[in-house]
Amino acid sequence: MFQYVTVFALFLCGINSQTVREGKCPDVPVQENFSLIKFAGAWYEAERSPIEFEEGGSCTTHTLTPVSKVTYHEVISQLLRESGQTRLIDGTATLSGKLDEAKFTVNLNIGPQSRTTPYFILETDNNKYASMWSCSQIDANSYAEFAIIMTRSRNPSKKILKKARNVYDRNNISRNEFKKVDQNNC
Q: Determine the 3-state secondary structure of 56 from DSSP.
A: coil
Query: Residue 27 interacts with ligand NAG (CB under 6 A)?
Result: no
Annotated binding residues for substrate, written as ranges, equal 113
Query: Residue 174 interacts with ligand NAG (CB under 6 A)?
Result: no
Binding positions for ligand NAG, 32-91, rule CB under 6 A: 32-33
| Strand pairing report for 179-180 and 58-66 | unpaired
Residues 85 and 128: their CA atoms lie apart, in Å, by 28
CB of 99 to ligand NAG, least distance (A): 13
Residues 69 and 59: their CA atoms lie apart, in Å, by 29
CB of 29 to ligand NAG, least distance (A): 9
CB-nearer residue toward ligand NAG: 27 or 139 = 27
Among 3, 83, 172, 185, binds ligand NAG (CB under 6 A): 172
Is residue 150 within 8 Å of residue 182, measured between CB atoms? no
Closest CA to 40 of 72, 8, 14: 72
CB of 137 to ligand NAG, least distance (A): 18
Contact footprint for ligand NAG (CB under 6 A): 32-33, 171-172
